[in-house]
């Protein structure tokens, strides 16, 4: 026996319609009572499986495979940008237009990189929910089609090669902080990113073997992998001198106000501005300068790219090419440092082209 509502909430016509539907189910071998229970359970599950619960399940499932910095960003973007408006919504009823409104709020505050990453995570959350059977489609799949375009990339300012002698001369004359001056020189000698250079720790240096080892996932490393930097003789000599100033601290270039912290982001930029290169040469621009100089002098692109800690542009080749080219890079960077010395001394400039063989 099955009842369909009660009078006056349900009309006779509605009861007859539901009776016909129940008889149809019986003819197809389906128990209408069990079907009703299944429908109620599906509704209960839909209400219970909120976006908040799905996002949390997705986060916990992926957490073991996320880098600490990535996990922190994912948690931050979930809590700040997605959960406030979507947390209690049944995930099965969320639509693409609803997600578009969420993304529009993020883009409205100019956080286009946050929006880009959030779109990726939304797609991943809904794929996870599809695999769990909580949703039947992915409303986040096409969000990129209406994404606000990012502004054109602005390259970091850097001088031309023929202006390098003037820069070296200005740096040699600079009477500012020895530590800041040393950080600029190390940026030029190594080609490493400014954030990596200013946060250099004494524990990363092996001066006897002229090596600077950057561990995997070290903060400041854009791609997250380990990196080995050969140090020219000039860098080793300077670092030994700096050890007399900052050797008792963790950082080679400690902060001016608090030596327990690394040098500030602005320290080297301010020094370059005082030297007359404001708007013409940035600290990050040293990487462009070094790359251009070494490539123009005929060194193998693999050596230069590895020195700059760039990923191999050929992803398949990059998977198997684990060589760090340490010895050829050591010779290359020593020749580069010697070349900079000639500029500092104002003598005849000898090209540092790689010798054949």
Catalytic residue status for 320: yes
Q: Which of 284, 297, 330, 354 is catalytic?
A: 284
222 is catalytic: yes
Residue 252: count other Cβ atoms within 10 Å of its Cβ. Answer: 27
Which of 119, 123, 193, 306 is flagged as catalytic?
Answer: 193
The two tokens of residue 115 are 């929006």
Instruction: Name, in order, each residue with C-beta under 8 angstroms of 136's C-beta and a sequence gap of 6 or more.
Output: 92, 130
Rg of the chain (C-alpha set): 31
Q: Given 158, 181, 198, 287, which residue is catalytic? A: 287
Residue 284 annotated in active site: yes
Contact 144, 107 (CB under 8 A): no
Report how far apart, in Å, the C-alpha atoms of 277 and of each of 100, 170, 172, 319 are. Answer: 44, 9, 14, 40
- In the numeric block, which tokens belong to residue 263? 């040098």
* 3-state SS track over 110-169: CCHHHHHHHHHHHHHHHHHHHHHCCCCCCCCCCHHHHCCCCCCCCCCCCCCHHHHHHHHH
Angle at alpha carbon of residue 200, lines to 198 and 205, rounded to 5°: 150
Tokens of 24: 């149809």
Residue 109: active-site member: no
Q: Which of 24, 105, 222, 240 is catalytic?
A: 222
Dist. CA 34–CA 194, nearest whole Å: 66
Q: Between helices 233-246 and 326-345, what is the axis angle to 10°? A: 80
To the query of whether residue 287 is one of the catalytic residues in this protein, the response is: yes
Whether 193 is a known active-site residue: answer yes
262 with 255: CB under 8 angstroms?
Answer: yes
Q: Of 73, 280, 310, 344, which one is the catalytic site residue?
A: 310
How many Cα neighbours within 13 Å face the side chain of 277? Answer: 26
Q: Please report which helix (H) or strand (E) contains residue 229, including its range.
A: strand 227-230
Short-list 210, 254, 246, CA closest to 231: 210
Q: Is residue 112 a contact partner of residue 148, using CB atoms and an 8 Å limit?
A: yes
**Hey, which residues are catalytic here?**
193, 222, 284, 287, 310, 320
């Amino acid at each position: 026996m099955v009842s369909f509502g009660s009078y006056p909430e349900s009309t006779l016509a509605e009861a007859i319609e539901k009776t016909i539907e129940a008889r149809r189910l019986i003819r197809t071998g389906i128990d209408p009572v069990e079907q009703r229970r299944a429908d109620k359970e599906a509704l209960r599950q839909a209400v219970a499986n909120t976006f908040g619960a799905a996002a949390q399940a997705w986060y916990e499932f992926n957490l073991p495979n996320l880098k600490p910095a990535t996990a922190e960003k994912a948690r931050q973007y979930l809590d700040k940008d997605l959960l406030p408006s979507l947390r209690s919504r049944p995930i099965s009823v969320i639509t693409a237009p609803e997600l578009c409104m969420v993304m529009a709020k993020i883009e409205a505050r100019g956080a286009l990189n946050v929006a880009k990453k959030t779109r990726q995570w939304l797609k991943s959350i809904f794929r996870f929910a599809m695999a769990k059977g909580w949703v039947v489609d992915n409303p986040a799949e096409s969000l990129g089609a209406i994404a606000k375009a990012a502004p054109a990339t602005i390259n970091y300012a850097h001088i031309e090669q023929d202006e390098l002698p003037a820069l070296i001369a200005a740096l040699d004359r600079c009477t500012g902080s020895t530590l800041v001056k040393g950080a600029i020189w190390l940026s030029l000698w190594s080609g490493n990113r400014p954030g990596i250079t200013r946060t250099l720790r004494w524990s990363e240096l092996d001066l006897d073997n002229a090596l600077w080892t950057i561990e995997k996932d070290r903060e400041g490393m854009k791609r997250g992998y380990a990196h080995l930097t050969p140090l020219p003789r000039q860098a080793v000599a300077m670092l030994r001198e700096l050890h007399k100033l900052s050797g008792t601290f963790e950082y080679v270039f400690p902060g001016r106000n608090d030596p327990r912290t690394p040098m500030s982001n602005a320290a080297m930029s301010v020094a370059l501005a005082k030297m007359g290169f404001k708007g013409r040469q940035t600290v990050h621009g040293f990487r462009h300068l070094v790359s251009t100089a070494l490539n123009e002098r005929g060194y193998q692109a693999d050596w230069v790219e590895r020195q700059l800690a760039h990923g191999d542009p050929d992803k398949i080749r990059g998977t198997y090419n684990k060589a760090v080219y340490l010895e050829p890079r050591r010779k290359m960077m020593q020749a580069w440092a010697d070349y900079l010395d000639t500029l500092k001394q104002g003598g005849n400039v000898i090209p540092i082209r790689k010798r054949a063989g």
